[in-house]
């Protein structure tokens, strides 16, 4: 393909994306700020004309969640608390996409406030709607805007953050690919924290090769992120992956975790899961039932640890240094801090701050928070015992010879398809929404790579199938995900 032909294709794709934004965004509410079409097309033309070496995503358009800091537009986390706030520095992943890959952002994506939510309804910008349905359905959360932007053809790929499933669940609802890399593989610098031991930058796209191309750009050691994997370990992981690929025959050992067979899963989900497993078996892959006993405690563990970290992280929003500041009557002994936080944070954020502060209180710290951390450690060991590959950051673990070891775990990503927005808004208890995370939080607590790939059923439904692998085995998780998408 000639340079001029490639340039014409990029410009044509960019015009299509911009046209979709113009015609669909007012209804779907996926992007909360949008670059002008003229500026986007000019930047595409500049990338095409540049003589610099180009990546596979050069000139491609992307959106990013509103918790990624940039220096040229406000970063609000979809909250009243940060309206108008412009960061003095930019998120590392945004810089790498702009400067190293020459990708072009089209705007910021809607989200649940401070990434707390599962349906993208807790936002000052209003709910994001799922583009797969004519009637209002949930887009999933908290990275719903990013998932919808990709699903509706507004961009080639998008970035989100995944704390307990906030990339994979929207991907499952919207019928796109959503990937959460191993914790520490992608820099979190410049991503406003929800729960720092869980937050992971994730990628949305319509296919796995695009996800792989984006990951190759944003996966790099960052000295500004203390949790970033070292360059030495990255090379060791790359070498180990190459050896496994060379020694393999293209057939994998697939684990079916018994604890993921939950009563709340709808027939559409269980039937799709069964269909995928049968087709994998027909291709020669081996299926094994495996058990991870601590998974049953994953949800309460997550909802102790994540609100506790959130309560600590969000204590900085006090109305003094930056962000929203309430107007108080000082003559009536008005207290700035309390009023500012009550007015600046939405209901779900306030709820999780209260829960987190309780878990960190002297009366509950030992019985709640410390116990949850112990369960989390046991869960990580459960995953290590199941996988054939050893954890690269841990000592080799003793495995039970009577139990099968597998390359990957294949499970559903959600307990049902995208619910009606009216049903979500009418939920009487927050617990109804929290249960949606039951299938995604285990991978987040263990820090392992996990991906949701779309599976189209015979009845026209789209279901997210989740693949999980050992820590650092991200490339092979993507390899296997391509196999599922090709079934």
Active-site annotation, residues: 65, 142, 166
Could you give the C-alpha distances from 147 to 122, 207, 350, 367, in angstroms and in order? 16, 13, 26, 38
Cβ(193)–Cβ(356) under 8 Å?
no
Check if the beta carbon of residue 465 is closer than 8 Å to that of residue 453.
yes
Rg (the chain; Cα; Å): 22
Non-local CB neighbours of 299 within 8 Å, separated by 6+ positions: 434, 435, 437, 438, 441
Residue 170 tokens, joined: 């929207």
Q: Are 170 and 179 in contact (CB under 8 A)?
A: no
Which H, E and C letters describe 139-173, residue by residue? Answer: CCCCCHHHHHHHHCCCCCEEEEEECCCCCHHHHHH
Q: Can you tell me the distance from the alpha carbon of 192 to that of 314, in angstroms, rounded to the nearest whole number?
A: 10
What string of H, E and C letters represents the secondary structure of 289-345? EECCHHHHHHHHHHHHHHHHHHHHHHHHCCCCCCCCCCCCCHHHCCCHHHHHHHHHC
Q: Considering only CA atoms, which of 108, 25, 133, 123 is closest in space to residue 421?
A: 133
Rounded CA gap, 135 and 23, in Å?
17
């Amino acid at each position: 393909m000639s340079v001029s032909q490639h340039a014409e294709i990029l410009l044509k794709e960019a015009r299509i994306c911009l046209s979709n934004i113009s015609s669909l965004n007012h209804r779907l509410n996926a992007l909360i700020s949008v670059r002008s079409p003229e500026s986007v097309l000019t930047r595409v033309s500049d990338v095409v004309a540049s003589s610099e070496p180009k990546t596979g995503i050069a000139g491609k358009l992307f959106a990013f969640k509103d918790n990624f800091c940039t220096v040229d537009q406000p970063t609000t986390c979809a909250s009243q608390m940060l309206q108008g706030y412009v960061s003095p520095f930019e998120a590392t992943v945004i810089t790498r996409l702009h400067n190293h890959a020459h990708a072009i952002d089209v705007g910021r994506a809607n989200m649940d406030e401070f990434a707390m939510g599962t349906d993208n309804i807790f936002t000052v910008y209003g709910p994001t709607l799922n583009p797969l349905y004519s009637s209002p359905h949930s887009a999933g959360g908290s990275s719903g805007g990013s998932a919808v932007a990709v699903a509706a053809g507004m961009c080639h790929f998008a970035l989100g953050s995944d704390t307990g499933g906030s990339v994979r669940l929207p991907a499952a609802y919207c019928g796109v690919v959503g990937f959460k890399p191993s914790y520490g593989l992608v820099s979190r610098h410049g991503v406003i924290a929800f729960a720092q031991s869980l937050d992971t930058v994730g990628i949305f796209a319509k296919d796995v090769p695009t996800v792989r191309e984006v990951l190759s750009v944003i996966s790099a050691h960052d000295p500004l992120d203390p949790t970033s994997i070292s360059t030495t370990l990255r090379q060791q992981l790359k070498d180990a992956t190459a050896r496994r690929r060379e020694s393999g025959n293209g057939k994998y050992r697939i684990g079916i975790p018994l604890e993921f067979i939950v009563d709340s899963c709808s027939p559409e989900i269980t039937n799709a899961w069964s269909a995928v497993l049968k087709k994998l078996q027909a291709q020669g892959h081996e299926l094994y039932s495996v058990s991870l006993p601590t998974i049953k405690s994953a949800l309460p563990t997550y909802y102790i640890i994540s609100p506790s970290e959130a309560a600590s992280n969000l204590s900085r929003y006090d109305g003094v240094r930056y962000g929203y500041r309430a107007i108080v009557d000082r003559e009536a002994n008005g207290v700035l801090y309390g009023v500012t936080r009550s007015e600046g944070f939405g209901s779900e954020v306030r709820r999780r701050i209260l829960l987190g502060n309780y878990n960190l209180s002297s009366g509950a710290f030992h019985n709640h928070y410390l116990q949850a951390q112990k369960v989390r450690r046991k869960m990580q060991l459960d995953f290590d015992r199941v996988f054939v590959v050893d954890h690269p950051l841990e000592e080799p673990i003793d495995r039970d010879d009577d139990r099968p070891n597998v390359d990957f775990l294949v499970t559903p990503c959600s307990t049902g398809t995208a619910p009606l927005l009216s049903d979500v808004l009418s939920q009487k208890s927050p617990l109804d929404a929290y249960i949606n995370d039951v299938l995604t939080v285990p991978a987040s607590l263990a820090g392992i790579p996990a991906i949701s790939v779309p599976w189209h059923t015979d009845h026209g439904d789209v279901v997210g199938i989740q693949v999980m692998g050992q820590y650092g085995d991200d490339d092979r998780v993507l390899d296997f995900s391509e196999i599922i998408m090709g079934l």
